């Protein structure tokens, strides 16, 4: 594998998205600071979480759209003229895109958990739900990545991103219906259950499967131009 070229392509995506990364981090940190100062206000907490989720989904869609714009702007033929294989291009695109998203995702998740644990007024029982929904957002982003890279279609990418964003409400409602998750959300202590472990394991397995399918489809392509 041409590691040097893969690194250059990854750096290209980081460079092109540097402003969006910075503003997303600032917006997320300001939002969490306001939530932490609300002393457990349900309204502020809900609004803050909505803003955080919006930032994450927006950032994920923006980063994954680069795979589509490379086709529309005719930069893909130039990229593929470089000494790089289809698999190496796929590796650079997926690793670069997901690393950008994971930086923001990790910072936001750690800050949310720290806010719940350290700020007064927040029940620690929220943590299992927050972790599961955060990984759900990551899984949705991986799905958008898979569609963007394999189809290079703006319509399909936007459609899948919208479906993924809208489905978060239904998935969150469904998860809360589990008694050992929803019933423990107001608990003063963290109550991690077998159901939470099963849901989290399923999400992680789905992420691995999505990425594997993406590489499989890309490896079978004969023409990127």
pLDDT number for residue 188: 85
Q: Which two tokens stand for residue 206?
A: 């789905």
Q: What CA–CA distance (Å, rounded) separates 215 from 197? A: 27
What number is the average pLDDT over the span 82-95? 73
On the question of pLDDT at 161 being above 90, the answer is: no
What number is the average pLDDT over the span 55-63? 73
On the question of pLDDT at 110 being above 60, the answer is: yes
Q: What CA–CA distance (Å, rounded) separates 71 from 158? A: 15
pLDDT number for residue 225: 53
The share of the chain scoring above pLDDT 90, in percent, equals: 15
Q: What CA–CA distance (Å, rounded) separates 48 from 197? A: 26
pLDDT number for residue 73: 59
Report if residue 225 sits inside a domain. no
**Whole domain around residue 128: which residue ranges?**
3-220
Residue 141: which of 53, 22, 9 has the closest Cα? 53
Average pLDDT, the chain: 80
pLDDT number for residue 195: 93
Report if residue 166 sits inside a domain. yes
What number is the average pLDDT over the span 33-51? 72
Report if residue 162 sits inside a domain. yes
Domain count, the chain: 1
What number is the average pLDDT over the span 180-197? 89
pLDDT number for residue 163: 85
On the question of pLDDT at 224 being above 60, the answer is: no
Report if residue 134 sits inside a domain. yes
What number is the average pLDDT over the span 30-57? 74
CB–CB of 9/99 below 8 Å? no
Instruction: Quickly tell me which residue has 């809208």 as its tokens.
Output: 166
Report if residue 12 sits inside a domain. yes
What number is the average pLDDT over the span 130-134? 91
Q: What are 194-209's pLDDT values in tens digits? A: 999 999 999 999 999 9
pLDDT number for residue 53: 78
Give 187 or 64, the one with higher predicted confidence: 187
Q: What CA–CA distance (Å, rounded) separates 58 from 165? A: 10
């Amino acid at each position: 594998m041409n590691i040097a070229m893969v690194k250059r392509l990854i750096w290209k995506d980081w460079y092109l998205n540097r402003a969006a990364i910075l503003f997303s981090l600032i917006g997320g940190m300001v939002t969490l600071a306001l939530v932490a100062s609300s002393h457990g206000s349900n309204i502020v907490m809900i609004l803050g979480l909505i803003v955080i989720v919006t930032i994450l989904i927006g950032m994920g869609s923006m980063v994954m759209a680069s795979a589509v714009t490379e086709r529309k702007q005719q930069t893909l033929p130039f990229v593929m003229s470089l000494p790089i294989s289809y698999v190496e291009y796929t590796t650079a695109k997926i690793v670069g895109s997901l690393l950008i998203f994971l930086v923001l995702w990790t910072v936001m998740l750690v800050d949310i958990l720290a806010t719940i644990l350290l700020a007064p007024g927040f029940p620690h029982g929220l943590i299992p739900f927050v972790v599961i929904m955060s990984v759900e957002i990551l899984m949705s982003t991986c799905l958008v990545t898979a569609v963007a890279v394999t189809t290079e279609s703006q319509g399909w990418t936007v459609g899948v991103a919208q479906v993924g964003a809208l489905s978060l409400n239904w998935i969150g409602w469904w998860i809360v219906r589990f008694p050992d998750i929803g019933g423990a959300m107001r608990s003063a202590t963290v109550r991690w259950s077998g159901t939470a472990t099963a849901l989290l394991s399923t999400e992680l397995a789905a992420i691995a499967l999505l990425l594997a399918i993406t590489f499989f489809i890309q490896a079978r392509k004969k023409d990127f131009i």
